[in-house]
């Protein structure tokens, strides 16, 4: 029998704590650590252990639904745009916490990027933490725990996750059947983020975004008109990615439909939550894909700067590609910085006009190339 809490690699101290906690859980935990270290995987596994009658067997219906974040007693809260808003916490935490669970057993509330709780939302969450229902367990996840209010922090058991080394990510992927060259490339492109590296390594088109990035850099090297075309190229690719996610909802809803494909009456609340979460994912999809493309562009520019400075070839991110710039382009650390500033701006403020941010970044990149020539 598979135990779900034994399947989270690279974080043995944290998982040892959660294994011990699963039988008699505290009312709230904060899983804290950098992006890509395994917090989300650990959170899903811990939720499955809390919702499974056998403590996380990994095989029963409860485990399968919890690991897929579709269990009726699992409530998932994520930022909508930049913040987690007060209405979201009321609807997805406060009200369900004080109601009877949809199915017998505990209720588990998972709050991703908990540091994005706005002040009003944090106040509502604090009321639940101060007087938690006996059948509720809250899991907060954050890469920036210092940004959480002290009143919230003080009411959670903090479980610390450490960064994953590149070698560990590579070995994990190789152990899962990924060829070593692709595993190392995926690890570097993902910046050590195991979940992202796994998606890049196994998806049939997992690296297609790099081609978009290379094409955008090639266009930007042609001057201002090319820079505008580069922004258009990235926006169009992100829109295609978003459209490709639309079919995922049907698969998520399937366990809660009857033989005629109609919603099971007892599962209407769960279906409504899954639909709302899917719509939030669609709203984030374009920006997520833009960030992926910009990350690839940043890696390509970094490799070019490295090559121009005489750096060792094995220090490159894209080990499978030469670091030669596009015709007419000149490696520029400032141009590389323009791409990173665009990534930071889009991550920090979701109300920015996506196209304008991209146009500004590629125009600056084109200008740097022209100045260097």
Tens digits of per-residue pLDDT, 55-86? 999 899 999 999 989 999 999 998 877 789 99
pLDDT tops 80 at residue 332: no
Range with top average pLDDT, 17-31, 208-222, 240-254: 17-31
pLDDT at site 186: 87
From-to residues of CATH 3.40.50.300 in the chain: 4-163
Higher pLDDT, 61 or 163: 61
pLDDT at site 205: 67
* Reported confidence tier of residue 279, pLDDT bands at 50, 70, 90: confident
Global pTM?
Answer: 0.69
Higher pLDDT, 124 or 196: 124
pLDDT tops 80 at residue 373: no
The length of the chain, given as a count of residues: 373
Higher pLDDT, 126 or 165: 126
Task: Give percent of the chain with pLDDT exceeding 70.
Answer: 91
Residue 234's nearest CA partner among 175, 153, 292 is: 292
> What is the distance between the alpha carbons of residues 147 and 152, in angstroms, rounded to a whole number?
10
> What is the distance between the alpha carbons of residues 183 and 189, in angstroms, rounded to a whole number?
10
Instruction: State pLDDT tens for residues 296-330.
Output: 899 888 888 888 778 788 788 877 776 665 544 54
**Over residues 194-213, mean pLDDT:** 81
pLDDT at site 86: 95
Joined tokens for residue 199: 């998606």
pLDDT tops 90 at residue 48: yes
The answer to whether the Cα torsion of 286, 289, 291, 294 is positive or negative is: negative
pLDDT at site 325: 54
**Over residues 14-26, mean pLDDT:** 93
pLDDT at site 13: 93
pLDDT at site 328: 47
pLDDT at site 53: 92
> What is the distance between the alpha carbons of residues 345 and 357, in angstroms, rounded to a whole number?
8
Q: In what order do the strands lie in the sheet with 107-111?
A: 74-77, 107-111, 136-142, 28-32, 157-160
pLDDT at site 206: 66
Joined tokens for residue 264: 């099971």
On average, the pLDDT of the chain sits at: 86
pLDDT tops 80 at residue 274: no
pLDDT at site 154: 94
pLDDT tops 60 at residue 22: yes
pLDDT at site 1: 41
Instruction: State pLDDT tens for residues 166-182.
Output: 889 999 899 989 999 88
The domain 4-163: what is its CATH number?
3.40.50.300
């Amino acid at each position: 029998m598979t135990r779900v809490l034994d399947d989270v690699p690279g974080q043995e101290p944290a998982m040892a704590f959660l294994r011990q906690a699963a039988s008699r859980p505290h009312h709230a935990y904060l899983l804290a650590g950098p992006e890509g270290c395994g917090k989300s995987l650990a959170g899903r596994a811990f939720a499955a252990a809390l919702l499974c009658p056998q403590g996380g067997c990994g095989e029963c219906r409860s485990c399968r639904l919890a690991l897929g974040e579709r269990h009726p007693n699992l409530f998932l809260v994520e930022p909508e745009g930049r913040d987690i808003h007060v209405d979201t916490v009321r609807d997805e935490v406060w009200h369900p916490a004080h109601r009877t669970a949809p199915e017998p057993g505990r209720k588990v509330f998972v709050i991703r990027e908990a540091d994005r709780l706005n002040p009003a939302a944090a106040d509502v969450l604090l009321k639940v933490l101060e007087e938690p229902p006996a059948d509720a367990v809250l899991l907060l996840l954050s890469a920036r725990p210092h940004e959480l209010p002290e009143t919230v922090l003080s009411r959670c058991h903090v479980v610390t996750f450490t960064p994953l080394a590149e070698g560990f990510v590579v070995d994990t992927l190789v152990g899962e059947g990924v060829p070593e060259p692709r595993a190392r490339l995926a690890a570097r492109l993902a910046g050590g983020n195991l979940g992202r590296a796994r998606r890049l390594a196994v998806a049939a088109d997992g690296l297609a975004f790099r081609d978009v990035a290379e094409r955008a850099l090639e266009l930007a090297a042609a001057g201002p008109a090319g820079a505008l075309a580069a922004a258009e190229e990235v926006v169009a690719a992100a829109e295609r990615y978003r459209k490709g996610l639309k079919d995922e909802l049907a698969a998520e809803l399937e366990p809660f439909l009857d033989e005629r494909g109609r919603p099971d009456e007892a599962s209407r609340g769960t279906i409504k939550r899954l639909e709302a979460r899917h719509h939030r994912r669609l709203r984030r999809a374009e920006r997520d894909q833009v960030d992926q493309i910009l990350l690839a562009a940043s890696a390509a520019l970094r490799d070019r700067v490295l090559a121009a400075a005489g750096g060792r070839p094995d220090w490159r991110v894209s080990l499978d590609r030469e670091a030669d710039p596009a015709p007419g382009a000149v490696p520029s650390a400032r141009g590389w910085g323009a791409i990173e500033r665009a990534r930071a701006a889009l991550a920090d403020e979701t109300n920015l006009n996506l196209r304008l941010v991209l146009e500004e970044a590629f125009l600056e990149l084109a200008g740097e190339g022209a100045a260097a020539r």
